[in-house]
Amino acid sequence: MSIPYPTRTLAQQTLRKSWFPVARSVDLTTPHSATLLGERLVVYRTASGKATVQEARCLHRGGDLALGKVHGETIACPYHGWRFSAENGRCRYVPSLEDQGKVPPKAAIRTLPAVERFGHVWTVLEQPLTEMYDPKHWQGKDFRWQPADPIDSPTGVGVAIENFADVAHFAFVHVGMMGETHPTIEPLIVRREGLEVWMDRALDACNGEWAKDGHCMMHYHIIAPGFIAITYDYERLGERIVAGFPSPIDYEHVKIFWGVANAHDYRGEGLAECLRVEDLLYREDLPVVARIQPREIDWDDVAVEYSVPADLFTLTYRRAFRELMERAKGRAAATYAANA
């Protein structure tokens, strides 16, 4: 089934069926508030260590469960103390009731899937179109992850991913961190399989001090809609990673969760220093990206854009995103037909 004219609505529906992070694992010492595509959520860890994602509104009088407390395998509302199960969201205890057998039987908050990976807790609002991200080239390897402080950005998921993936802006935006780099971009080596896009590029293509640690290949990897990473493979130091996971607060506003990882035998700088350097790079992008128009990729092709060969990687990402939208449209059509 083709999509000749993808729409913003279809893109939003696709995002609702995609995995996004909503909290860092290290922050779950207390319940944590999150917003995903306009839906307020609470993220917390139970006494047994299970990461849980649920709707944040208490079904009694609307208290915010993110302000509540964890009691064993339940979370208690800060307003009247109603407790809801982490397993299925059902209300298990109402303090004002003398007879707990009279707890409203239908009182249950929505409980979403929760997966901990790459130092973050991930969830999905509707039946997912894909499995949770799990890059094959990282499987079986021992990486130590360090999650960064999330970054607020007034853009959509696609624009945030493309900023990470774009290599033609280095000479203009990253002079402070990368020094003088040549603006001409060599032919890019890009390939795509379904929703996944790869690009390999030598780090010395960036020139100057940025390549001071010897020969290194940068293996870029995107999985549509919201996963991007660079695995730096140094000839004499080993492997390290920087990865970004923009999570949509709404369609045109993301919280960029991200982090770095080092292989257990990496012989370069420690995680703290790698994080510091990558954070400085991200901060150079922010003021420029915040003024991009439109704030999300124009899937209806209303805005005039011209592209050149240096845009091959980001253009290929757009093809992957469109394929995911086709899947979402196909599922919607199948559901409609089954219910007709």
Q: What is the CATH number of the domain that holds 195?
A: 3.90.380.10
**Same domain as 178, residue 290:** yes
Helix ranges, 175-311 (H): 175-178, 271-289
Query: Which residues, in sequence order, are bridge partners of residue 192?
Result: 197
Co-location of 196 and 71 in the same domain: no
Of 123, 149, 172, which residue constitutes the final position of a domain?
123
* pLDDT, mean of residues 175-179: 77
**Minimum mean pLDDT among 127-141, 144-158, 171-185: which range?**
171-185
User: pLDDT for 88-101, tens place per residue?
Assistant: 999 999 999 999 99
Q: Which of 196, 228, 220 is nearest to 319 (CA)?
A: 196
Helix H or strand E segment including 234 = strand 227-234
Exposed (0-12), middle (13-18) or buried (19+): which is 34, by Cβ within 10 Å?
buried
CATH number at residue 105: 2.102.10.10
Distance of CA 280 to the CA centre of its chain: 20
Average model confidence (pLDDT) across the chain: 94
Burial (CB count within 10 angstroms: exposed 0-12, middle 13-18, buried 19+), residue 81: middle
pLDDT band at 336 (very low <50, low <70, confident <90, very high): confident
Are 165 and 299 members of one domain? yes
Task: Assess whether pLDDT exceeds 90 at residue 208.
Answer: no
The answer to whether residues 90 and 216 belong to one domain is no
Same domain for 149 and 32: no
Higher pLDDT, 266 or 2: 266
Quickly state the pLDDT bin for 206 (edges 50, 70, 90): low
Q: Which domain holds residue 102?
A: 18-123
Each residue's pLDDT tens digit, 51-66: 999 999 999 999 999 9
7 in any annotated domain: no
Q: How many domains does the chain have?
A: 2
Q: Is the pLDDT of residue 138 over 80?
A: yes
Task: Give the confidence band of 207 by pLDDT, cuts at 50, 70, 90.
Answer: low
**Do 93 and 160 have their domain in common?**
no
Domain identity same for 157 and 268: yes
Q: How many residues does the chain have?
A: 340
- pLDDT tens track for 220-254: 999 999 999 999 999 999 999 999 999 999 999 99
H or E segment to which residue 108 belongs: none
**For residues 307-336, average pLDDT:** 94
Better-scored residue on pLDDT, 125 or 213: 125
Give the pLDDT confidence of 250-306 residue by residue, as tens digits. Answer: 999 999 999 999 999 999 999 999 999 999 999 999 999 999 999 999 998 899 999
Of 118, 135, 129, which Cα lies nearest the Cα of 24?
Answer: 118
Q: How confident is the model at residue 339 (pLDDT cuts 50, 70, 90)?
A: confident
Same domain, 281 and 197: yes
**Considering 100, 123, 146, which residue would you say is the last residue of a domain?**
123
Select the more confidently predicted residue: 336 or 326. 326
Compute the average pLDDT of residues 187-197: 97
3-state DSSP helix/strand/coil % of the chain, to nearest 5:
30, 30, 40
**176 — pLDDT class (breaks 50, 70, 90):** confident
Task: Please check whether residue 11 lies inside any domain of the structure.
Answer: no
Is residue 331 assigned to a domain? no
Asked if 226 and 294 sit in the same domain, the reply is yes
pLDDT per position as a tens digit, 291-321: 999 999 999 889 999 999 999 999 999 999 9
Of 123, 151, 166, which closes a domain?
123
